[in-house]
Amino acid sequence: MGPKKPGSPAQSVGKRLKRKYSRKSPDNTYRVKRALRMIESDRVSIRKAAEQFGVSYGYLYRRLSGEANVDSRNGPRPIFSDEDGAAMARWLKEMSARGMGLKPGEFLDFVQKVVKEVNKSTPFKDDRSGYDWYNA
């Protein structure tokens, strides 16, 4: 027998699959707000702030001119409100503290059940969210 490979077969398949999109860094809004503060205090130009914070010139210009909201994001609207998301996070933490933590698949089953009970429209296939949604 050869050396044993770590991980499950699903993990090895997952590593071979490529993502269809690239994730933006989670601190993008923070960087944009810092850049806008520097521009508004007349310390730097829009172009210099864009270079310094790694954001495009047009992106900063649209937010500075008021054409786009600073907190606006591309993509579909969130399925759950911030309060709903926070409630689910609290529930998960409470279940974990009681020694009854859920596996990701079990949590996704729970979310699917909630979506069907509330009759919420979602972009998910069969109203079931995926692992990318879970990780985000």
Amino acid found at 75:
G
Quote the pTM value: 0.48
DSSP 8-state code for residue 63: H
Residue 102 falls inside a structural domain: yes
**Angle at 22 (CA atoms; ends 21, 26), nearest 5 degrees:** 135
88: domain range? 82-135
For the chain, the domain total comes to: 2
With CA atoms as reference, report the closest residue to 28 among 81, 85, 70: 70
Whose tokens are 């503290």? That residue is 97
Weakly modelled stretches of the chain, pLDDT under 70: 1-27, 73
What is the model's pLDDT at position 19?
Answer: 57
Q: What is the mean pLDDT of the chain?
A: 79
pLDDT value at position 80? 81
| pLDDT given at position 48 | 92
Asked whether residue 58 is assigned to any structural domain, the reply reads yes
Of 65, 90, 116, the position where a domain reaches its end is 65
Q: Is residue 17 part of a domain?
A: no
Q: Is residue 92 domain-resident?
A: yes
